[in-house]
Amino acid sequence: MDRLDEKALVGETAAIQYVKDGMTVGLGTGSTAYYVIKKMGEMIKEGMELKGVATSKATEKLAREYGIQLVDINEVEELDVAIDGADEIDANFFAIKGGGGALLREKIIASAAKTFVVVADGSKKVQSLGQFPLPVEVVPFGYKQTERAIRKLGCKTEMRFKDDKLYVTDNGNYIVDCSFPSIQNPSQLHETLNNIVGVVENGLFIHMVDVLISVDKQHEISVDIAKR
């Protein structure tokens, strides 16, 4: 089974198992979340009533294409469930997200959900975080100063570019991609990064993931519940 098949399998499984009639669902961003949205579109065609809150402008566009009614995050007290992908996730259910540039909105929506489900192909499961560069969203004003402060934590930093221009998030900010040799203490790093002036948020999702739906070595669906 290739990665594309795995993404489709875990995305569809998440929608089938965790999305129920009448729910308001946090809609993730990225290639695996695409299959969740696609499946939800099929469910709506079959008669389900579902609403969605998108984590990015790209997801908004995709959701509309599949007939999902969108609501503003400010109009709901909480979401029934949020389903999103991850760039890495370890055995403690700590994850790195933000490869698609939507980490701040993804974290706001995950925080608002009763249940946060991560869907990931087998390649995303790691022993320890850090192989994937950690995205950090920073304000444009003084971004070089902020990048220098982040670099003092022992990582190599690189400003994210798109089409030869600094990448701008949906929130009007920049992203610094940070390559650490390894991340031994994700909780401490999360707190340290967010205390740097100019940092808006970072891509470490600590104690947020409730369910991980992935594919095991036998290419079978694995549904794991976080123990807190």
Q: What are phi and psi of 168, to 5 degrees?
A: -115, 125
Instruction: Report which residue type is found at 14.
Output: A
Catalytic positions, please?
A: 106
Residue for token digits 């022992």? Answer: 154
For the chain, the residue count is 228
CA 227 to chain CA centroid, Å, is 20
> Among residues 125, 135, 76, 146, which one has the least CA distance to residue 101?
135
CA distances from 59 to 62, 101, 105, 194 (A): 5, 12, 11, 26
How large is the C-alpha radius of gyration of the chain?
17
Q: 193-216: buried (b, 16+ CB within 10 Å) or exposed (e) per residue?
A: beebebbbbbbbbbebbbbbbbbe
Query: 36 is written with which tokens?
Result: 């969740």
Q: CB of 126 within 8 A of CB of 95?
A: no
CA distances from 220 to 31, 131, 147, 214 (A): 20, 25, 42, 8
